[in-house]
Amino acid sequence: MNQIKDLEKLIKLTGGRAKLDAKANETYIVYKNVEGKIVKEYNDGHVIPVTAQDPPHA
């Protein structure tokens, strides 16, 4: 077995599940994009960068 491929598959499945949960709860997911910036992605595909000035989500 190739452990790296298995791990990549699990990471992809986890991200997909996070998107489904965000859609069901009408919220967003947060991740680091390929440029290394932290972003929020909404259900409609709108992606915005997270800044230090953003209020906490509570």
In the chain, the N- to C-terminal Cα span, in Å, equals 42
The count of other CB atoms within 10 Å of the CB of residue 54 is 11
Report mean pLDDT in 10-residue bins for the chain, 58 residues.
90 93 94 93 93 69
**Domain boundaries in the chain?**
3-49
pLDDT score at 10:
94
Q: Which residues have CB under 8 Å from 26's CB, separation 6+?
A: 43
